Amino acid sequence: MPKTQYYTATSIDGYIADQHNSLDWLFETGDGREDESGAEPFAAFFADVGAFAMGATTYEWVHNHEKLGVHPEKWREYYADVPSWVFTHRDLPPLPGSTVHFVQGDVRPVHAAMTKAAAGKNIWLVGGGELAATFADAGLLDEIILGVAPVTLGAGAPVLPRRLTSSRLTLTALERRGPFAYLTYAVGAPN
């Protein structure tokens, strides 16, 4: 059964971006995508993704950091032709030749469109935490996968700015990949 998954890296103190909305801290620690054998579990994860969504701040950071305005082909290198949705309330630079859809409002109809586009594969919520929390509020988040990096940021964008109690979260997997600890939680329906 396909899942809607929030897969993200976080600092030990629970931030996915620093106070300047930067992910540079993540690249300083390595990305944690390789396991002890050198295999890339992220590639296996992404092979099961049929659609994905991100928030405007995440999209802007990727767009600026990767200089997608000059090199839009990089998007395709990273994400192939997997359909994507960017939730935003402001105008963002489009990516010619990509499958990026800019949307706003209720996540439910967008989730339905993503599910159809995913054609039996999983949906990945890239970030940010507010977007993932909105899917959780709507009962549309099945799993949280956290790559906990060996760093503290002290402030920034929280991994999930909502209260989800242990009655909704069940630890289903735990593993080490290099300096990262990966925690996987099944997410139950809202009460």
Q: What is the number of domains present in the chain? A: 1
Q: What is the model's pLDDT at position 105?
A: 95
Write out 120-182 in H/E/C secondary structure: CCEEEEEECHHHHHHHHHCCCCCEEEEEEECCCCCCCEECCCCCCCCCCEEEEEEEEECCEEE
Q: What is the pLDDT along the chain (191 residues), one digit of tens a residue?
A: 899 999 999 999 999 999 998 888 988 876 544 545 455 778 899 999 999 999 999 999 999 999 999 999 999 999 999 999 999 999 999 998 888 999 999 999 999 999 999 999 999 999 899 999 999 999 999 999 999 999 999 999 999 999 999 999 999 999 999 899 999 999 999 98
Give the Cα separation of 14 and 101 in Å (integer). 29
- What CATH code is carried by the domain that includes residue 92? 3.40.430.10
Integer CA distances (angstroms), 32 to 27, 43, 115, 177, in order: 9, 12, 28, 6
Q: What is the model's pLDDT at position 89?
A: 94
pTM score of the predicted model: 0.92
| Owning domain of residue 147 | 4-187
Q: What is the model's pLDDT at position 37?
A: 47
